[in-house]
Amino acid sequence: MTASDQILQQHGLTRDEYQRILEMLGREPTVTELGIFSVMWSEHCSYKSSRVHLRKLPTTGPRVLQGPGENAGAVDIGDGLAAVFKIESHNHPSFIEPYQGAATGVGGIIRDIFTMGARPIALLNSLRFGPLEDPLVRRTFSGVVRGIAGYGNSIGIPTVGGEIAFDESYTGNPLVNVFCLGIAKADEIIKAAASGAGNAVYYVGAKTGRDGIHGATMASAEFDEASAEKRPAVQVGDPFMEKLLLEACLEVMKTDTLVGIQDMGAAGLTCSTAEMGSRGGAGIAIDVSLVPQRETGMTPYEIMLSESQERMLLVVKQGREAEVERIFEKWDLHAVRIGEVTTDGRLLVKHHGDVVADIPARCLTDEAPVYQRPMAEPAYLAEARRLDLSSLGPPPPPADVFRRLLASPGIASKRWVYRQYDHMVRTNTLVVPGMGAGVVRVKETNRALALSTDGNARFVYLDPFQGAQLAVAEAARNVACAGGEPIGATNCLNFGNPERPEIMWQFGQAVEGISAACRALGIPITGGNVSLYNETDGRGVLPTPVLGVVGLVEDASKIARRAFAHDGDTIVLLGVGRGELGGSEYLKVIHGLVRGVPPVLDLPAEAALQRLLVAGIAAGLIRSAHDCAEGGVAVTLAECCFDTGLGATIDVPTIEAAAGAMAAVSTLFGESASRVIVSVEPSRAAELVRLAAGAGVPAAIVGRVGGDRIRVTIGRETALDESLADAERIWSEAIGAYFDRERAIA
């Protein structure tokens, strides 16, 4: 067929790309082929804008068992076991239909994990929304939370952590990034590659319907007013079906009947057949008329492009088909043979025996277009990075700032959210959500895994390179605060339209930053996801790289928690405050500004700090640890007091650089990096300070746990003296209040 401009536009293909298709095929494509190319060459599947940059990430290390390129990455955690994990976005569907968009995001990442032969044991999610004052945002927020809960709770995988941030830029384009981790035997990881001519290709799971056709293309375009009409491109999830698939697939994987397995996520049958064939250097021939269908009259185009959820593609060893079919029958699932592996490296699609597509598989994967898109420093930067504190006028009293920050949804307790998530199922959760890193034990070993997803988009907006480095450092620091040695990471890169040079510049800088920080901290990136075109009506979201870091705790009985553990313990502040307010929660909440330069990050110092934390916690010296992030040392101290009823008093030195009217607020609420509040038994405080000195980590005994107030003095002068109970009430009730109010009005 000769494609008109309109047809190409509908398929998200450029004229140049169409020309390449003609050259590759040596003829005009059939309509099914055009559909196949369109989804496989979409940004979502091909990473055509991001690939050249992603190559810079460090992906190797002594513990890496599987780097990028498979369904998920894997790292060695000892005892012959592997942690298999990845993070993925489901941003676009979650805006159009919050519940199903988020639910199917959870379903998709879980499939990626069990496809590798791993039993999923933990979920985390990083969410971004507009301000909760907006009723539409509240609808999106509660829908996304319910969707995550609805899917994760039903399938029985605990949601053990994550984070949520708010900014106007996410109002029309929320971010829903879901992280899943599973455990597999290190030598039994299963790959998604097809090989062995004549081996059967099986389809199993939900029937194929017309839902989600062009979901991948949707995720590769900006939003506009017409986006609400794209609802049919969002799929509907069925966690019960996925639970059956999960159990049945894990049972099949215990046998040695499989050659390879892949889930059908974005671009459905097209992507799974093309990628499995391409990875194994083989071809795949299928007849789509054999695919179980939910609706009548579906065309090969529709069957190949459907994104119906909860479907898997398996390649089974010859002669073992009956065994596989029997296991699926047990779970009331029907594995259907739809084709076989071939030797010619082509994706051959038939419909009732007639050929409807015949494409070399590598044209769809390795030979898909790769763009070196132009990059240019955005015009906003020079102005946004200028911060003149004296122009802000006298700051409000510290007590007012403190209360407003505690009530700010970015800082306030997220219990309203995680109470809706089953965070205890599977009885592994040692540290529940809302307390920094989530910690799960690994049964049948002494080990545990500390997991954290982080990313401060304001910092990235103000300096993509530095902000991305800070995201890596924060996620790693959070797992170290629980006692976990960071051993692997996955990233989800949420940016705007890559066809704009300034967005591409943000992206390129951020990848460089992640790369530099991961190298310095010795953390390999084993996979991840890129989500571009996060824009509504031409306005992009804050550039938002989210890092998910896995930390290994050697002794699960020795983990540190955020909250102070004992009355009378000594409080030690690790790291140095510089009073940095650039990009801070203080500036945003109090002055409505996203301005200045992000905090300085000294990577060797950060690495030393993290090593000290891991060693100090393993030795039983550090009894609690909490990273100083949004809201600075004052908010961090308060968070250490919450949930325990134990107050605290600390004294911090005056920061010389931050003199003048802003001295107190910058000392209390500045967000300098690489700082952690820890508590130790008083008799061992000196030991910790000595250990820190030896490790080159600045450490100061600053105060004591106890009482019913949160007190901070600066150079012995009282700067903050608040009731713990009042502070905790403000912090606990802030998010729920947005919804209670709504109910009262209704």
Partner 1 sequence: MKFAVVVFPGSNCDHDAYHAARHVLGQDAAFVWHKETSLGGADVVVLPGGFAHGDYLRTGAIARFSPIMREVQQFADRGGPVLGICNGFQVLLEAGLLPGAMLRNRSVKFQCEHVFVKVEQIDTPFTNACRPGQILRIPIAHGEGNYYAEPGVIERLEKNRQVIFRYTTADGAMMPEANPNGSAANIAGICNDARNVVGLMPHPERACELALGSADGYVVLESAVKAVTHGMFAAAR
- Check if the beta carbon of residue 561 is closer than 8 Å to that of residue 652: no
Q: How many CA atoms lie within 13 A of 399 on its CB side?
A: 10
Q: Which stretch binds partner 1 (CB under 8 A): 330-338, 607-615, 682-690, 727-735?
A: 330-338
Residue 280, burial from CB neighbour count under 10 angstroms (0-12, 13-18, 19+): buried
- Mask 242-271, x = binds partner 1 (CB under 8 A)? -xx---------------------------
In this structure, the dihedral spanned by the alpha carbons of residues 597, 600, 606 and 608, taken in order and rounded to 10 degrees, is: 180
Could you tell me how far CA 334 lies from the centroid of its own chain?
Answer: 33
Contact flag: residue 729 with partner 1 (CB under 8 A)? no
For the bound state, the minimum distance from the C-beta of residue 236 to partner 1, rounded and expressed in Å, comes to 13
Comparing CB distances to partner 1, the nearer of 448 and 720 is 448
Nearest-angstrom CA–CA distance, 691 and 689: 5
For the bound state, the minimum distance from the C-beta of residue 585 to partner 1, rounded and expressed in Å, comes to 27
- Check if the beta carbon of residue 284 is closer than 8 Å to that of residue 201: yes
Nearest-angstrom CA–CA distance, 627 and 633: 9
Active-site pick, 11, 53, 90, 351: 90
For tokens 């455990």, the residue is 183
Nearest-angstrom CA–CA distance, 109 and 118: 12
Contact flag: residue 239 with partner 1 (CB under 8 A)? yes
Provide the β-strand partners of residue 550. 451, 488
Comparing CB distances to partner 1, the nearer of 431 and 608 is 431
Could you tell me how far CA 422 lies from the centroid of its own chain?
Answer: 19
Contact flag: residue 482 with partner 1 (CB under 8 A)? no
Comparing CB distances to partner 1, the nearer of 28 and 555 is 555
For the bound state, the minimum distance from the C-beta of residue 78 to partner 1, rounded and expressed in Å, comes to 19
For the bound state, the minimum distance from the C-beta of residue 238 to partner 1, rounded and expressed in Å, comes to 7
Comparing CB distances to partner 1, the nearer of 209 and 670 is 209
| Residue partners of 102: CB distance under 8 A and separation at least 6 | 90, 94, 143, 144, 145, 146, 147, 148, 151, 176, 178
Nearest-angstrom CA–CA distance, 620 and 30: 66
In this structure, the dihedral spanned by the alpha carbons of residues 744, 153, 234 and 190, taken in order and rounded to 10 degrees, is: 160
Positive or negative: CA dihedral 202, 206, 212, 217 = negative
Comparing CB distances to partner 1, the nearer of 27 and 419 is 419
Q: Which stretch binds partner 1 (CB under 8 A): 70-78, 348-356, 419-427, 630-638?
A: 419-427
Number of residues that bind partner 1 (CB under 8 A): 33
Q: Which stretch binds partner 1 (CB under 8 A): 178-186, 418-426, 508-516, 675-683?
A: 418-426
- Mask 349-378, x = binds partner 1 (CB under 8 A)? ------------------------------
Q: Is 44 a catalytic residue?
A: yes
Contact flag: residue 429 with partner 1 (CB under 8 A)? yes
Q: Is 566 a catalytic residue?
A: no
Contact flag: residue 426 with partner 1 (CB under 8 A)? yes
- Check if the beta carbon of residue 559 is closer than 8 Å to that of residue 450: yes
- Mask 530-569, x = binds partner 1 (CB under 8 A)? --------------------------xx------------
Interface with partner 1 (CB under 8 A), residue from 424, 619, 657, 661: 424
Interface with partner 1 (CB under 8 A), residue from 419, 690, 729, 741: 419
- Mask 434-463, x = binds partner 1 (CB under 8 A)? -------x-x--------------------
Sheet holding 648-652, edge to edge: 622-627, 676-680, 570-574, 699-705, 648-652, 709-714, 717-723
Nearest-angstrom CA–CA distance, 572 and 293: 63
Nearest-angstrom CA–CA distance, 309 and 237: 6
- Mask 138-167, x = binds partner 1 (CB under 8 A)? --------x--xx--xxxx-----------
Nearest-angstrom CA–CA distance, 126 and 452: 10
Active-site pick, 44, 53, 92, 214: 44
Q: Is 353 left (phi over 0), alpha (psi -120 to 50) or beta?
A: left
Contact flag: residue 240 with partner 1 (CB under 8 A)? yes
Query: Which spans of this chain sit near partner 1 (rule: CB under 8 A)?
Result: 146, 149-150, 153-156, 238-241, 243-244, 330-332, 418-427, 429-430, 432, 441, 443, 556-557
Catalytic residues: 44, 90
